[in-house]
Structure 1
Amino acid sequence: MRKPLVAALFALVIAGAGAVPAAAAPAPEQSASRVTGADRATAAPALAAVDFAGTVALSNCSGSVVRLPGSADGDPALVLSNGHCLETGFPSPGQVIVGQTSSRTFGLLNSAGTQVATLRANKVVYSTMTDTDVTIYQLTSTYAQIKSSYGINALNLSDTHPVAGTAIKVVSGYWKRIYSCNIDGFVYRLKEGNWTWKDSVRYTSACDTIGGTSGSPVIDTATGKVVAVNNTGNESGGRCTVNNPCEVDANGTITVRQGINYAEQTYQIPACFGASNQLDLTRSGCTLPKP
């Protein structure tokens, strides 16, 4: 989960407050606490331009309009954020939410970070904080309608596992800030409070993300595709506590990295969707947790 709004909201949930209240700016989200070049041998590949276009600001988190490899222009658009950014509160360990009605709104940003539209969801397609930390909303608008009305393309979601060393950018629609760093490695298990996530992305220290950046897309700067969703960081050196996740290896050894931040991979998501951006958790290859 993520900081400022993170700690406060987490505390509310743990205290039994239930639904997470919307945060007025500048207080950020709760915490549950991302092209090719010429073929000349000597030429460096060109990097994808990474800016704010297609990202969104939530009431207390960040997110992005995302397109799956099989999505069509006429499909209802999807917004990707964190499970702990769900407006009805953190999903419990083991809980998976599908098809929940929602009327949540999102501020759509252009390349300069200016809000050009307010988009609206009609349902929570999928949300969980088990194994991963993700919420996927379905919008009332299609990709084609968003492009036609506002000139904004969705971000493309990668369906392949990223690699260590990859240069990335974490793009926060809430703060309108872009962080640049690299994937330092992958964490067998990342444990925070009662939640445990698998195969998490660890950033190098340059991505010093803060509360409100939860749900930000993590973009591979070489491809321009989303490879993860930003979700947490160890703030004060605590061991496996809220706002202080710890790394657990396959042997159960615990490592604490104060000041280091993390994301959850998203390559598993496309395999769980069929035609028309419809969720189908029974599809072959779908490994997302099921209700």
Structure 2
Amino acid sequence: MFRPLFAVAAAAALTLTGLSAAQAAPAPAAPAKVLAPGGDFTGIAALSNCSGSLVRFASSVSTDPGLILTNGHCYEGGMPQPGVVLVDRSSTRSFTLLRPNSNNAGTVRANRVLYSTMTKTDVTLYRLTETYAAIQSRLGIPALTLSQSAPAAGAGMAVVSGYWKRIYTCSVQATIPELREAGWVMKSSIKYRQPGCETIGGTSGSPIVSTSTGEVIGVNNTGNEDGARCTLNNPCEVDANGNITVQKGAAYGQQTWWFYTCLSASRTIDLNKAGCLLQKP
């Protein structure tokens, strides 16, 4: 995976609690509206070492706490080891939200890490101290909506980096059954069609935004830098028959629609829900 740009210390796991339940009859959380989907920095966040985004579920309401999406390997406690899933961990991490033109809009702060892992996918989902409505009122920043389905091959996409304030555009080349990197294994990884998305360190955690819908269809996380086989920063592809392929310069993202398979009616993350596809502790 692309190296976070500043080292952080290792940490241990906690137990799960979900997102806060919505209050009675609130307004829906307003999704981001942009002139060209994936064409500006609406909903984009800069972390101290990575990129991220302010996201909402399709069913989120304005009184729900805001959520920040980034990579598991961007977690401030260090990269979760293979097989490790962190849930309901306290956090005071701050994030800088950007305006559409990439200027800084202001800072938001987390109070919980709801879910973080580098197994099967590579995600960290933070819960913020403010609701979507409060963030919209104070900073004028709406959230991007997480797509409820995986991206198809050929779909137009943009990797929007808050850390570098840079947008990469290309399309989805393929879904890779398995990606191996050092001891980590990721499933159904999103491979980018090059040229256009030659992502670098610091772009980790950037949302992959559909250039058709403006929804988040994945999260950017890794690329093969040196042409090595299945080592750190040099992931290898494994097909359904177990054949291993290495492509120097290939870049990848991970699935985020799996959150919906674990989502309760009150928009909490329930890892015990039937059909939940997220890795469990």
Superposition TM-score tier, normalisation by shorter sequence: 0.7 to 0.9
- Tell me by how many angstroms 1:163 deviates: 0.3
Question: Contact 2:4–2:204 at 8 Å: present in 1 too?
Answer: no
Name the aligned partner's letter for residue 114 of structure 2: V
TM-score by length of 1: 0.85
- Residue of structure 2 in register with 1:194 after alignment: 183
Local SS of the residue matching 1:70: coil
Query: Is 1:116 matched up with 2:108?
Result: no
Deviations 1:4-59 (A, max 9, x none): 73xx85xx9xxxx636xxxxxxxxxxxxxxxxxxxxxxxxxx95363101110000
Counterpart pick for 1:179 among 165, 168, 177: 168
Question: Contact 1:69–1:270 at 8 Å: present in 2 too?
Answer: no
Local SS of the residue matching 2:248: coil
Deviations 1:76-122 (A, max 9, x none): 01100000000000111111110000000000101011111110000
Query: Is 1:224 matched up with 2:214?
Result: yes
Question: Contact 1:76–1:276 at 8 Å: present in 2 too?
Answer: no
Q: Distance in 2 between matches of 1:100 and 1:4?
A: 20
| Alignment map for 1:138-287 (pairs within 5 Å) | 138-205=127-194, 206-287=196-277
- Residue of structure 2 in register with 1:2 after alignment: 2
- Size of the alignment, in residue pairs? 257
Question: Contact 2:122–2:221 at 8 Å: present in 1 too?
Answer: yes
Task: Give the gaps of 5 or more residues in structure 1.
Answer: 20-45
Name the aligned partner's letter for residue 83 of structure 1: G
Question: Contact 2:38–2:158 at 8 Å: present in 1 too?
Answer: no
Name the aligned partner's letter for residue 59 of structure 1: S
- Residue of structure 1 in register with 2:125 after alignment: 136
- Residue of structure 1 in register with 2:47 after alignment: 58
Name the aligned partner's letter for residue 2 of structure 1: F
Deviations 1:135-162 (A, max 9, x none): 0000001111111111111000001121
Local SS of the residue matching 1:148: helix
- Residue of structure 2 in register with 1:105 after alignment: 94
Name the aligned partner's letter for residue 10 of structure 2: G
Task: Give the gaps of 5 or more residues in structure 2.
Answer: 12-34
- Tell me by how many angstroms 1:285 deviates: 2.9
Q: Distance in 2 between matches of 1:126 and 1:236?
A: 31
Local SS of the residue matching 2:258: coil
Question: Contact 2:2–2:223 at 8 Å: present in 1 too?
Answer: yes
